[in-house]
Amino acid sequence: MKKPEPKKYLNAIKGYKGGLSKIEGVDKIYKLSSNENPFGPSSNAIAEYAKVSSDLGLYPDSSNAALKLAISSKYSIDSDRIVCGCGSDEILHLLARVYLDEGNQGLVSENAFAVYPLAIQSSGATVVRAKEENFQPNIDNFISSLTDETKIIYIANPNNPTGSYIKFDEIERLNRSVPNDVLFVIDAAYSEYVEEKDYSIGFELAKDSENIVITKTFSKAFGLAGLRVGWAYCPKKIAEKLDILKVPFSVNTAAQMAAISALEDDDHINFSVEHNSKWKKILNDCFAEVGLIVYPSQCNFILVEFLESSKFSAKEAYHLLSSKGIIVREMEEYNLPNCLRITIGKEEANLLLIETVNAFKK
């Protein structure tokens, strides 16, 4: 019997797995699996969210005008070059849908954020991965991987799941080699957490470019992952095209209002970033002391590698942590089965993590 069939090239796609949030039989959970801000959003954003409850019958502003203005003034960028989405995921997918065709290639780093391959494959294009060195993206490998079929490059800077970052002069060097008809997407989801001085989000570089798109999210330092709001700074022609083709009401009213409020609360961001920096160092030392490899991270998580010689494998460590209520991220999906990715939590979670990790000592 005939039945509807998806497009053939979609059959190879496995789908995105989010971080788990429950463990059977364990009541008190510490979710360190999705790189959320453990403190959530600014209290002002929560108050704005509550206010929206009296207007739930009304459609949101589909132009996201007030949110775009708030972003524009916060980052000193033109509001008519901003596109808002249901998380930055919506925009990352939309870019692939609009600018990739079957037969094209999308270029990413070897250990790239899992959404990029999904977005590329969803458009029928092929994923090409530029080899990394020791979990560090390599710009020469990006340049040598460019072909006539490359139509989009996605780079997370800093990167999830490795935590590594690319110096701004290296981003500039890559940009000089990227042809003008290739979309160069720089995903700065974790930029607030970066401590290195030679890093830049790249708004200045994007300002005079016709092919650079920078994406940002409210899901990480701003603590609004549950509301789903992200945005992109694009060349004007690209912003116009995306605004025509995106789902009109994808950013709901509560998300718009809470995000505007979150943007204004520098104290909350500064507090969150300082907490992250302090505990990232402590946790780095703790994992290193028990003989594991911790990769340098500019994000709100660390990537820990378990060795043949380690007392536990990554899988065993995952189960031990789970038994204490600590959920971290397994890395099979990223083809890194010997690694765990661990979000920096609140003090209570971090202390329990340290106590548990001490059992990893040989």
Ligand X SMILES: Cc1ncc(COP(=O)(O)O)c(C=O)c1O
Binding-site ranges for ligand X (CB under 6 A): 35, 87-89, 113, 156, 160, 187, 189, 217, 219, 225, 230
Helices (H), the chain: 43-51, 65-75, 87-99, 115-122, 139-145, 168-177, 203-207, 236-245, 253-264, 266-289, 314-323, 347-357
Shortest Å, Cβ 245 to ligand X: 18
Decide: 128 and 105 in contact? Cβ < 8 Å.
Answer: yes
Q: What tokens does 85 get? A: 């989405």
Q: Which is nearer to ligand X, 187 or 243 (CB)?
A: 187
| H/E element, 184 | strand 183-187
**Quick count: other Cβ atoms within 10 Å of Cβ 91?**
27
Q: What is the C-alpha separation between 301 and 161, in angstroms, rounded?
A: 8
- Which residue, chain included where needed, has tokens 């959530």? 40
Q: Which is nearer to ligand X, 216 or 357 (CB)?
A: 216
Residue nearest to ligand X (CB): 87
Shortest Å, Cβ 161 to ligand X: 8
Shortest Å, Cβ 219 to ligand X: 3
Q: Which is nearer to ligand X, 100 or 255 (CB)?
A: 255
Shortest Å, Cβ 230 to ligand X: 3
Q: Which is nearer to ligand X, 217 or 261 (CB)?
A: 217
Number of alpha carbons in the 13 Å side-chain half-sphere of residue 255:
26
Shortest Å, Cβ 4 to ligand X: 29
Shortest Å, Cβ 115 to ligand X: 6
Shortest Å, Cβ 215 to ligand X: 7
Q: Which is nearer to ligand X, 228 or 310 (CB)?
A: 228
Question: What is the distance in angstroms between the CA of the first residue and the CA of the last residue of the chain?
Answer: 60
Q: Which is nearer to ligand X, 35 or 64 (CB)?
A: 35
Shortest Å, Cβ 224 to ligand X: 9
Decide: 303 and 294 in contact? Cβ < 8 Å.
Answer: yes
Q: Which is nearer to ligand X, 118 or 146 (CB)?
A: 118
Q: What is the C-alpha separation between 21 and 31, in angstroms, rounded?
A: 6
**Quick count: other Cβ atoms within 10 Å of Cβ 234?**
28
Asked whether the CA dihedral 23, 26, 27, 28 is positive or negative, the reply is: negative
Q: Which is nearer to ligand X, 120 or 156 (CB)?
A: 156
Q: What is the CA radius of gyration of the chain?
A: 21
